[in-house]
A and B are shown apart, each in its own frame.
Chain A
């Protein structure tokens, strides 16, 4: 069982829909991350939040909008996605970003997103 919970597990949406992915952790971690993983490829970092503030955006298109309403929650708002955005979206957390190199990240099992 993972300590990072992602909902929903699966999501199918049209290109004109608006939906949100949710991630929750109760480990007291202050750094949270979104990754995108295409089939048979490694995960790619999208966003990093540190103390509820966005610290890294890896040049992600604006149709992906992250939000961190509190230290336990991380959302990814989706709007006007393209078929090539179909992928597994993974959330992770770690204790703190400034000691990142010595801290493991804890991953959820992801949301599998399909864009019609």
Chain B
């Protein structure tokens, strides 16, 4: 399974945008890019996913590089409730979701 690389931690101020980067240089053509987050004392929560084009939903936006070797999760206005571990994961039709170490996001009031 292809691996992803994320910064261990990031900080943001409340109500400011947050850009969470992910590198996936060994991505293959059929791999989807998924983002999940895990809030304290909760199970992981699906955030967004995409294949080639940028994606938007009510939670976030996903910007995918043209060569697909990197992507960025964008939280448009961070709130204190967005403090969590964010995981960038490449998925294939294997039934496996392989979590990396993720990025711990701290949001300052």
Within 8 A of B (CB), among A76-113: 90, 92, 97-102, 104-110
Q: A44, A102, A109, A110: which has the most chain B beta carbons within 10 Å?
A: A102
Contact of B32 among A33, A50, A55, A102 (CB under 8 A): A102
Q: Whole-angstrom distance from the CB of B53 to the nearest CB of chain A?
A: 13
Q: A107 and B44: CB pair below 8 A?
A: yes
Flag whether A8 is at the interface (Cβ < 8 A).
no
Q: B43 and A92: CB pair below 8 A?
A: yes
Cα A101 to Cα B1 in complex, Å, equals 12
Q: B96 and A101: CB pair below 8 A?
A: no
Contacts from B to A (Cβ < 8 Å): 30-32, 34, 36, 41-46, 49, 51, 85, 87, 91-102
Q: A110 and B43: CB pair below 8 A?
A: yes
Q: A42 and B87: CB pair below 8 A?
A: yes
Task: State which size class the interface on A falls in.
Answer: 20 to 34
Cα A100 to Cα B43 in complex, Å, equals 19
Q: Whole-angstrom distance from the CB of A105 to the nearest CB of chain B?
A: 6
Across-interface contacts of B94 in A (CB, < 8 A): 56, 100
Q: List 21 A-B contacts (CB under 8 A).
A: A2-B43, A4-B43, A33-B95, A33-B97, A42-B101, A42-B102, A43-B44, A43-B97, A44-B99, A45-B96, A48-B96, A92-B43, A92-B44, A98-B93, A101-B91, A101-B92, A105-B97, A106-B46, A107-B44, A107-B45, A110-B43
Chain B interface, >50% SS class: loop
Q: Whole-angstrom distance from the CB of A101 to the nearest CB of chain B?
A: 4
Q: Whole-angstrom distance from the CB of A73 to the nearest CB of chain B?
A: 17
Q: B100 and A42: CB pair below 8 A?
A: yes
Contacts from A to B (Cβ < 8 Å): 2, 4, 31, 33, 42-45, 48, 50, 55-56, 90, 92, 97-102, 104-110
Q: 4 other contacts beyond A97-B95, A107-B44, with CB at 8 A cut-off?
A: A2-B42, A97-B93, A101-B93, A102-B51
Across-interface contacts of B87 in A (CB, < 8 A): 42
Q: A31 and B95: CB pair below 8 A?
A: yes
